Every structure is written in C-alpha cells, then in structure tokens.
Amino acid sequence: MRRVLILGGTAEARALAAALVEDGGVHVVSSLAGRVSRPRLPVGEVREGGFGGPAGLAAWLREHAIGALVDATHPFARRMSASAAEASAATGVPLLALRRPGWREGPGDDWRRTSSLESAAGLLTAPARVFLTTGRRSLPVFAGLPGVWLLARSVDPPDPPVPANVRVLIGRGPYTVEGERALMREHRVDVLVTKDSGGEMTTAKLTAARELGLPVIMVDRPPPPPGVRLTDSVATAAAWAHG
C-alpha cells in the first residue's frame, strides 16, 4: 500500500486526509507542526512536531517508505515548504503543493498590497487603530510603532510581555460579517492589516472592512519553491496521491 505524507494543519489538509482515507488504497500520515494548541485533527494517522529541517524530513521519508508527499501547509509556511522541496529533491519522493486560492479585491474594496510584514508596518500612519490578524508571531513587528494601537487576534496567546498599546483577542474562525463589523465598530478600528491566507474561514473581516469603508493592508503570500507542482483542488491532490 502506498504511503502518503501530508504536511498539514489547514482545512485543505484535513479534507485531503478525509478523502484519501475514505477512498482507501493508500496509508495516510498527516504531520502537524505542533505550533497551535488544540489543533483540529485530521482522520487517519497523525504525527506532531518538526522533522529537524530538510535533512530530517528526507530521513523520515526514507525511513517510513513514503511514496508521495503533499505540502498542504499554510500559504505563509515558507520554511516548511522549502524543506519539503529540498527533501523531495534529495529522496526522489514526488511532491505536490496544495494551496487554497488567495483573496481577490472586489468592487468597493480599498486594499494596499505589500510584500512583507515589515513593509505593511511601514504603511501605517499614526495615529492609527489597527485590527491586526497576521498571527501572534508577527506582533513584535507592529507593537513598537509610535502612535499605533493594536487589536491583535490570534488562535493562541502571544508570548509575554504584551505591550500596553495592544489588546489581544483569542479566537478561531469561522467568523461572521456581523460579528466582525461589530468588533471593528466597538474598537473604533480605522485600518485592517492581514495576510492573504485565502479561504472562507476568515474572509468575513474583509467584507466588514469594505462595508465600513476601511482600508486593508494585505500582505501577499510568498511564492511556492521553484519547480514544485501546485494545485488548489483537493480532488486533484487526492487523485495525484493515489499515483
């Protein structure tokens, strides 16, 4: 039976694992990085924790006779995607990247696209009340900006100490447009900063920002490693994994 390793943690990874388990014919192992407490677990075998870089991942692929590797990590998991590409090249295990489509600006949106968190911070003009949804590890990039107040939402609490000008919200999608709109009004938010993660789980904040006439600073996702085959379809990934 072919053994398939899914580098996961995303809704697409869970959907792929479910499809492969239901179809049968392959043994599925889903790998979670372990960076989020109480993650949503996929069906099938699950391992948690890192591999120790590209060399460690390559060794794991060989040791467990993996026949196909699917990178279904978060679109901004640049380091893990790079490790997957290097391990695939070193072992000859075929690699497919599964990525949800990114968000697209529509009528009425006021987006400013930028290439990094640092450049996003540079676009903020004090005084500013910012709704920040770029993850807890990005907080230090924005927390030191003079004249900027942050409403920072993340799945897990950020590492202490939390600066006095930061209000932390712990939450996990999906969110509603009504809830996001009320949140932005309650905290008098005047700009949303987010990453182009794509998907439906957290798109409500973009609709709410549009309805309220708020600008959005959108950090573009990094490109996949060169030469890696890419799909946004779980069905296509499932068919590919079967070989």
Query: pLDDT tens across 141-170, in order?
Result: 998 899 999 999 999 899 888 888 899 999
Distance, in Å, from the CA atom of 75 to the CA atom of 122, rounded to the nearest integer, reads 23
Distance, in Å, from the CA atom of 49 to the CA atom of 138, rounded to the nearest integer, reads 21
Query: Which is nearest to 74 in space by CA: 210, 218, 195, 227?
Result: 195
- Predicted pLDDT at 173: 86
Cβ-based neighbours of 119, under 8 Å, separated by 6 or more: none
- Are 2-101+222-242 and 111-219 in the same CATH fold? yes
Distance, in Å, from the CA atom of 10 to the CA atom of 221, rounded to the nearest integer, reads 15
What is the pTM assigned to this prediction?
0.90
Task: Write down the CATH number for the domain with range 2-101+222-242.
Answer: 3.40.50.720
Distance, in Å, from the CA atom of 140 to the CA atom of 45, rounded to the nearest integer, reads 36
Distance, in Å, from the CA atom of 58 to the CA atom of 83, rounded to the nearest integer, reads 9
Query: pLDDT tens across 60-102, in order?
Result: 999 999 999 999 999 999 999 999 999 999 999 999 999 999 9
- Predicted pLDDT at 33: 82
- Predicted pLDDT at 36: 64
- Predicted pLDDT at 35: 66
Cβ-based neighbours of 82, under 8 Å, separated by 6 or more: 54, 225
How many Å is the maximal CA-CA distance in the chain?
60
Distance, in Å, from the CA atom of 169 to the CA atom of 157, rounded to the nearest integer, reads 8
Domain coordinates in residue numbering, the chain:
2-101+222-242, 111-219
Distance, in Å, from the CA atom of 72 to the CA atom of 138, rounded to the nearest integer, reads 22
- Predicted pLDDT at 138: 93
Domain 111-219 has CATH 3.40.50: yes
Task: Give me the percent of the chain exceeding a pLDDT of 90.
Answer: 87
Provide the CB-side half-sphere exposure for 41 (13 A, CA): 9
Distance, in Å, from the CA atom of 13 to the CA atom of 233, rounded to the nearest integer, reads 11
- Predicted pLDDT at 243: 86
Query: pLDDT tens across 100-126, in order?
Result: 999 999 999 999 999 999 999 999 999
Query: pLDDT tens across 8-51, in order?
Result: 989 999 999 999 999 999 999 999 986 666 778 899 999 998 99
Distance, in Å, from the CA atom of 174 to the CA atom of 163, rounded to the nearest integer, reads 27
Cβ atoms < 10 Å from Cβ of 63: 8
Q: Are strands 95-98 and 111-114 parallel, antiparallel or unpaired?
A: unpaired
